[in-house]
Structure 1
Amino acid sequence: MDEREIIKAIIKEYQQKEMHLIPRDVKLPKTNKALVIIGIRRSGKTSLLFDVFKKTNNDIFFPLDDDRVFPPTIKTLQEIVKVGKEIYPNKRITFFFDEIQEVENWEVVIKRLTEREGHKVYLTGSSSKLLSKEIATQLRGRCLSVELFPLSFKEYLRFKGFEFDDILTEQDKALILRYLDDYLTYGGFPEVVMEEENREEILREYLRTIIFRDVVERYGIKNIQILKLFVKFLINAHTKKISINKLVNYFKSMGIKVSKNTLYEYLSYLNDCYFIFPLKKFSYSLREISQSMSKIYVIDNGFIRIFDIKHSADKGKYLENAVFVELRRRGFIENENLFYYEDSDGEVDFLIKENEEIKCLINVCYDLNFDNYDREVKKFVKIGKKLKCSNLMLITFDCEDIIEENGFKIKVIPFWKWSLFK
């Protein structure tokens, strides 16, 4: 079967395909521009795209990572368009291209479809370069982008079939806390959430795919062993500050030669594919921000779990990572309007900035008690006063309170309530 016949067969398969899809809390804007859904692999981009596809007319859905056409070329893309026009002659077609980053120079075809021919185009991609570089450069304002992350806790409960409203019974809350413990441990990838067994093996397979498809193959990495060691180090360093210089020396002590620039490049690649998020320290000086050490956050707690020898001994770190991802899900961008803060008085996990104003300070503490009261309350208030920010929030596993200290109020809120009733 030649490529044209394969393309026809794949298009027909998806037009006849039926899927039971659980809705996500993602709003896709109405626009005449190309609409791009980006995010980590297996986060549900294809399902979201397919859900929109099934609600449209005169449409063509095509997965560009299908092995029958892999690796796709610009000629593959052009052939898909030709077949679509034959199926819907003289019609305004809606094209859905899944994993568009697999096609080199894809933007040439997309610009023609949207600008000159007036067709509607939806795209998904696994690399954030689609947002920051490729689309911004090649489409020049002719597209809108929407990020998709693994399930939020609210979506997780929906996938588990748990219905709730503003009034919770004791039984409801007990079940929510049980689900939350599972969510913090195994994360929110849709397939993992729905799977009762083999969750860790599924996550390991995801990790292998992300490393090889989105980093090794995409960037032509030669020394895969160093990359794998670096990834393992970063995951184990979640919520902690890292020094690339110290890591270079650490590798050297193991007999592994790697340059500082190489590790910085690897970190950038892992950030591009939505896997690792390096968070910088807030300062009013751009130079100080760029030179500060990064705190490391991981896209999903499930990846932390598979490398966690202690098996969730430090639940506070799992909770902090989940808070970061939720903040990122809500549209706060690391090192743009989301930072951490540190000075001689202590550290604040998350600082949210709007223009030049500090809007909110957030600390994460699994359980507030006498032993950590100084850090979580007194030092927190002291930093809030220094930064002229009175909006202080302390996110916990299940503690809730309003603490007044030295003229300031700290809102203590459980993660589940913060994420469900925002």
Structure 2
Amino acid sequence: MEILSLTNPWWFSDNWERDDPQLREWKGQKYKWIPGWIKEISVTPFSLNFIVGPRQVGKTTGIKLLIRELINSGFEPRNVTYVNCDLLVDSAELRRILLAIKDREGILILDEVTSVEGWWKVVKGLIDSGILRKFSVIVSGSSTFRLLKYSESFIGRRGKGKDVEVLPLSFPEFHRITGKDFQDYLTLGGFPRSINGDERFSEELILSLDREIARIERSPKIMRAIIHEILRKAPSPLSFSALGKDTGLNHVTAREYAELLEDMFILKIVYHREGSRINFKKEKKFFLRDTAIARAFAMLYGVDVKEEALYEWVVQEHMYRVFGEIYYYKNSYEVDAIADSLKVGVKSGRAHRRYPRGVIVLEKDEIPEFLIKLEKIREGQGPPLP
């Protein structure tokens, strides 16, 4: 099929890397790295791997680097099949493409598969029929809900497959790769293009989110308004009603869009926790998951991102990555980030209020060291924090 000929140049040329748009851009960047997550993918048949992460985070570039690595290590080029699902009209076209390669084997990559409505029915059907049994299937998407919500449909059908999450660089990763400090991280964030000073990045990030939202028949205008309100009111806790009030939305719509943005790795909803009790009705905190996202939308609206919000958001994000959960507490005092048994208050200036025993209070110059300690915990190299 013509589309496969266009998207799989390694079938025909040993010099395909030279003309590949993602690898050409990657090679031209000042700061570049081989992402560690490509090593997590199972390339042994049969496997069904799910790769999820925000738009513009480098999923496609990482996949192309994986393809390069496989071919350079002796993998037969014609046994690596890449399908850019952004180019497909519907699931019927996806089915036709997969049936066209049914006599092959090796690696099958379905990039941005969530662009195709009903993709999972096609993939599930071909797995059940045995057509894909000789493949390691790698599917990627920018939405956990639209990708992983179908995981139950694939119970017993994953083989050796893995779930791989692709996120912007953490501060320790950023520092290790660039040598830059924490203030640079607050300015640049962890996306490859923002780190490399790509002036088009902010606009193209927002436009890619607009397209993603429009594809599922939601309003980019409402999405932007929700993020604007978060920027305006951060880091104060808000109800869904308050989040929607100034944009003329009811709490149901505000919640729907907030959860949609959470699903797309743009923001995180932080619920109130007291002891072991999580209160879903109480006001929530909302944080944007990378400073580059915050600055892109702040630039769009011509507003400043509050310094205190950025410090708090970065700590919340890093704790969430380590522990897989994040909450807050507010009564006579406020704990900005709670995960596992760790309780942290983040202060842009010196804290004047006394906190109970067991709460770590971070001043801004203490945050970088705290994030490095968190990274060591995630890597299993450091002792637990007090």
TM-score range for the pair, normalised by the shorter chain length: 0.7 to 0.9
SS at match of 1:292: coil
Residue type of the partner of 1:44? Answer: G
Higher radius of gyration, 1 or 2: 1
Aligned to 1:98: 111
> Residue 381 of structure 2 corresponds to which residue in structure 1?
none
Give 1:304's aligned amino acid: A
Give runs of aligned pairs for residues 169-248 of structure 1, distance below 5 A: 176=180, 179-195=181-197, 198=199, 201-210=200-209, 212-218=210-216, 220-221=217-218, 224-248=220-244
Unaligned segments of structure 1, at least 5 residues: 163-175, 354-358, 385-391, 400-411
Unaligned runs of 5+ in 2: 18-22, 378-386
CA contact (8 A) 1:238 1:298 kept: no
Q: Find out whether 1:414 has 2:381 as its counterpart.
A: no
Question: Cα offset for 1:282?
Answer: 0.9
Structure 1 Cα separation of the partners of residues 95 and 245 of structure 2: 49
User: What is the root-mean-square deviation in Å for CA atoms of aligned residues?
Assistant: 2.9
With the length of structure 1 as denominator, give the TM-score of the two structures.
0.72
1:413 to 1:102, Cα distance in 2 relative to 1, 3 A: closer
Q: Which residue of 1 aligns with 2:380?
A: none
Contact 1:242–1:295, Cα closer than 8 Å, also in 2: yes
* Contact 2:170–2:190 under 8 Å retained in 1: yes
1:291 is aligned to 281
Q: Structure 1 residues 151, 72: closer, same or farther in 2, change over 3 A?
A: farther
**Are the counterparts in 1 of residues 347 and 362 from structure 2 also a CA contact under 8 Å?**
yes
Q: Could you tell me which residue of structure 2 aligns to residue 168 of structure 1? A: none
Corresponding residue for residue 398 of structure 1:
365
Structure 1 position 40 matched with structure 2 position 54 = yes
The change in CA–CA distance for 1:240 and 1:50 in structure 2 (over 3 A counts) is farther
CA–CA separation in structure 2 for the residues paired with 1:141 and 1:340: 37
Partner residue in 1 for 2:382? none
TM-score by length of 2: 0.78
Please state whether the residue corresponding to 1:72 is helix, strand or coil.
coil
The residue number in structure 2 matching 1:348 is 335
Q: Which residue of 2 aligns with 1:8?
A: 5
Pick the aligned partner of 1:328 from 300, 320, 329.
320
Alignment-derived partner of residue 301 in structure 1:
291
**Given the superposition, is the C-alpha separation of residues 109 and 227 from structure 1 closer, same or farther in structure 2, using an over 3 Å criterion?**
closer
User: Do the aligned partners of residues 233 and 204 (structure 1) sit closer, same or farther apart at CA in structure 2, a change above 3 Å counting?
Assistant: farther
Displacement of 1:327 in angstroms is 2.5
Partner of 2:264: 273
Q: Does 1:137 align with 2:152?
A: yes
CA contact (8 A) 1:238 1:321 kept: no
The alignment covers a number of residue pairs equal to 344
Q: Are 2:172 and 1:154 aligned?
A: yes
Residue pair 1:338, 1:350 contacting (<8 A) in 2 also: yes
CA offsets per residue over residues 317-337 of structure 1, 9 Å max, x none?
A: 21221122222333x33xxx3
Contact (CA 8 Å) 2:53, 2:142: kept in 1 or not? yes
Q: 1:261 to 1:35 in 2, by over 3 A?
A: same
> Is 1:28 aligned with 2:25?
no
1:135-183 CA distances to partner (integer Å, 9 max, x unpaired)? x2322364432211111223323543x4xxxxxxxxxxxxx4xx32121
